[in-house]
Structure 1
Amino acid sequence: MLSKKLLTGILSLLFILLLSACNAGNDAPQEHMDSENMPNDQIDQDDGHMGMNHSGSGEVPDGLQEAENPAFEVGSQVNVEADHMSGMNSAEATIVGAYDTTVYAISYTPTDGGSPVRNHKWVIHEELENPGSEPLEAGDEVIVSADHMAGMDGATVAIDSVEETTVYIIDFMPLDDGDQVTNHKWMTEDELSAE
């Protein structure tokens, strides 16, 4: 009699544990698309930014010049019109820094063995190893010394696009209830608008 009660108790406990395990983490449906099945222009944004250091120290590379007449002054409030990461597009942001430089979109294979990243926006001229004084051109290859994402620092990158512009460092609160992002690098003028 005692063994039947014990067996019934154990089976009941296992059943409850099984139901709990089946329900864990299924509060919302999740979609996953690996980078091989994702359009080229979406790999960086959706998959490649998973390892991105969205917040930064605020330190800037040596030789980077502060913008003399930026469209958005340091301390001003702006709206973000880019989706480098989840919750960024349409967020309100504060300008932390404004710098005149050449900015690049790049493609590369991370040094840590991660999936290839295509059209990552952005790295600046001063974050490249020995780039020379003149802007590089689309198609050029160079080593990057920035660590915006895991496996980026030291990677050989291909330049996808080049633009001479003012770049900004911003602070913002993501709209997807993520944590406050501070000193996010980099945004271009056309990715921001006045409030």
Structure 2
Amino acid sequence: MKGKKIIIIAVLLIVSAFTLAACGGGKEETDTKGNNASQQNTSEESSSESQGNMSEHMSSSGEVPASVQEAENPKYEAESTAIINVKHMNMEGMSDAEATITGAYDTTAYTVSYTPTTGGEPVEDHKWVIHEELLVEDPGDTPLEPGTEVTLNTDHMKGMNGATATIDSAEDTTVYMVDFTPTTGGEKVVDHKWVVESELEPAE
């Protein structure tokens, strides 16, 4: 009888051990899956945020001011390709992207600082706004001098149109409107305004 009891107790102990191990394994698997799901969600959110930022900052309208002059002899002609060698603000995926030229114009390009009409932190040295996208009380000669106060008459970014801005720098150049697919992936950016000629390199 004693022997049977010992055997039964031993069997119960073995069964209990297996049950605990199984429960522990299941918990570990759940935790692992949970962690993986959390990491995946974070990655997806980060990717979505990055694409959202790109979409928010990039211009998606092909409209240009009626008064802007098309370039007569641009270095990069419409429908040709070039490599972008600059990154504007926090636009990841712009540098080294292959761009298709959709428009070329001879004008004055400005970097400007302004506070968005939608609120938020001031934007400093925004590249680029062209002369025909500015409203100024006394236009005078172009280019406008640094420190000149103007009103932005364009919507490259949210809160830009109608904002009061200060000219930081000016450059007489050819500006290009371009299409490109970010090197970091995501949707194609269409009719981005603007890239100046010195920010482009010939595509091999």
| Map of 1:75 onto structure 2 | 79
Q: Does 1:185 align with 2:193?
A: yes
Letter of the structure 2 residue corresponding to residue 73 of structure 1: E
| Map of 2:147 onto structure 1 | 139
The alpha carbon displacement at 1:88 in A equals 0.5
The alpha carbon displacement at 1:57 in A equals 2.0
Distance 1:50 1:114, change over 3 A: farther
Letter of the structure 2 residue corresponding to residue 26 of structure 1: T
The alpha carbon displacement at 1:98 in A equals 0.3
Q: C-alpha root-mean-square deviation of aligned residues, in Å?
A: 2.6
Task: State percent identity of aligned pairs.
Answer: 51
Q: Select the structure that is richer in helix.
A: 2
Contact 1:87 1:178 in 2 (8 A): no
Contact 1:81 1:191 in 2 (8 A): yes
Q: SS at the partner of 1:164?
A: strand
Contact 2:151 2:162 in 1 (8 A): yes
What's the TM-score once normalised by structure 2's chain length?
A: 0.72
Distance 1:137 1:24, change over 3 A: same
Q: Which deviations, in whole Å up to 9, do the C-alpha atoms of 1:83-102 show, x marking residues without a partner?
A: 12110100001110000000
Distance 2:82 2:40 in 1: 39
Q: Which deviations, in whole Å up to 9, do the C-alpha atoms of 1:162-187 show, x marking residues without a partner?
A: 00100000011100112101100000
Match of residue 126, structure 1, among 116, 121, 132: 132
Distance 1:107 1:89 in 2: 22
The alpha carbon displacement at 1:194 in A equals 0.7
Distance 1:169 1:128 in 2: 18
Distance 1:114 1:52 in 2: 14
Q: SS at the partner of 2:150?
A: strand
Distance 1:73 1:51 in 2: 25
Distance 1:50 1:184, change over 3 A: closer
Q: Which deviations, in whole Å up to 9, do the C-alpha atoms of 1:92-119 show, x marking residues without a partner?
A: 0111000000010001111111211011
Q: Give the number of aligned pairs.
A: 164
Q: Does 1:168 align with 2:176?
A: yes
Q: Does 1:26 align with 2:34?
A: no
Q: Which deviations, in whole Å up to 9, do the C-alpha atoms of 1:108-134 show, x marking residues without a partner?
A: 111111211011000000001146262
The alpha carbon displacement at 1:22 in A equals 5.4
> Which structure is larger by alpha-carbon Rg, 1 or 2?
2
Letter of the structure 2 residue corresponding to residue 146 of structure 1: T
Contact 1:51 1:149 in 2 (8 A): no
What's the TM-score once normalised by structure 1's chain length?
A: 0.75
Q: Does 1:54 align with 2:62?
A: no
